[in-house]
Amino acid sequence: MSAAPRLDRLADRATITRVEAAGLPDALPAADVLLVWDFTSDAVRRCWPGPGPRPGWVHTASAGVDRLLFPELVESDTVVTNARGVFDGPIAEYVAGLVLAVAKDLPGSWRRQREHRWEHRETRKVAGTRAVVVGSGPIGRRIARVLGALDVRAEVVGRRGREDDPEVGRIHPAEALPGLLPGADWVICAAPLTDATRGMFDADAFARMRPNSCFVNIGRGGHVMEKDLLEALRAGRPAAAALDVFAEEPLPPDSPLWDAPGLLVSPHMSGDTLGWHDDLADRFQDAFEVWAAGGEPPNTVDKRLGYPSGG
C-alpha cells in the first residue's frame, strides 16, 4: 500500500508514530497498538520475536490475517483484528463481473475487435447455472447473494456445515466439497488461508470440475497448487480460471501463468475500489474508539482458527 492512512480522528487522542519496516523493531516495545497498513509485508513476523514488550492489539488493514499468525504472536495475549466488512461488496462485484465476462465471452469479443474480425457466436446463459463458493465468511456470503441476483444457485462451503443459516440457508461442511465440484459451473474460492485450506485446490480438485466450468480465486494464493491448475487448464478442465492472488506476488514476468490458456490474471485488486484507503482508515478508527473505551475491538480474530470466530 502506498498512501499512508489518514487518522485525523485520533490526532488528539493518541501519539501516532509512522514507521517503515526497518524502524519497526525499535518502535514495537513502546507501542500499545500496531496498525499494519502494509498488509503485504512480513516485517511484523520478522521483528516480533525480538526483546522488549509488544503491543496488546494488532490491527491489519486486510481481510486475511495469515501473515500475522506466526507462533510467537499466536501464543501471545495480543489481540488481532482485521478489516472485515470493507471488501465484501467490491469483491462480490468483481466475481460477478468475471462470471458475466466468461459466460458472455467478453475477452473473445475484445480479441476479435482488435483483429477487426466479425464473428458471430452463441454465449452461455448465467441464469440457472450453479456456483460453489468456498468460504462462509462475509465475503463468501456476499458473493453468494450477488450471484443469486443473477439467478445463479450458490452452494456455500464452510469449515462446518449448517442447515439453517439465516443468510444463505444451507452451508456445506468442508468435507462435502469434492462431491460438489462436479456439479458446479463456477467454483469460487473465498476462504481464509489456514493449515486446513492451504493447497485445497490441487490436481484432484481440478479433475473433479466440469470441462466447461470456471475457477475463480479471490482468497489467497496458497489455496491453489498453481502447477496443478496450469496443467488442468492445458487439459481443458476447467475451461477457464481467474486468479487475483498468487503464491508469489507480484507474479514474476516469466511465470507460465501469464500465458495459461483460459486464465485471467489480475494483480490482487478485486477488493480495491476508489476510496478504499479511507474506508480502511475509518474501520480502524472505529475499532480504536471501542478499544479506548475499554471494550474488545470488533473483528477480533480467533488466532487458532485464523479468522474472526463469528464466521
Is 277 catalytic? The answer is no
The whole-angstrom separation of Cα 297 and Cα 129 is: 40
Tell me how far CA of residue 305 lies from CA of 30, 66, 173, 227, in angstroms.
29, 10, 15, 27
CA–CA separation, 100 and 206 (whole Å) = 21
Cα separation, 173 vs 176, in Å, equals 6
Contacts of 212 (CB under 8 A, 6+ apart): 185, 238, 239
Closest CA to 186 of 138, 218, 160: 218
> Exactly one of 142, 220, 223, 283 is catalytic; which is it?
220
DSSP structural state of residue 5: P
Q: How far apart are the first and last CA of the chain?
A: 27
Q: What is the largest CA-CA distance in the chain?
A: 68
Burial 152-188 (b: 16+ CB within 10 A, else e): bbbbbbbbeeeeeeeebeebbebeebeebbeebbbbb
* Whether residue 268 lies in the annotated active site: yes
Q: Catalytic residue among 9, 112, 124, 268, which?
A: 268
Pairing of strands 186-189, 263-265: unpaired
Q: What is the DSSP letter of 84?
A: T
Catalytic residue among 72, 167, 249, 289: 249
Helices (H), 214-268: 226-235
d(Cα 172, Cα 159) in Å, to the nearest integer? Answer: 8
Residue that the C-alpha cell 477487426 belongs to: 116
Grid cell for residue 162: 449448517
Residues annotated as part of the active site:
220, 249, 268
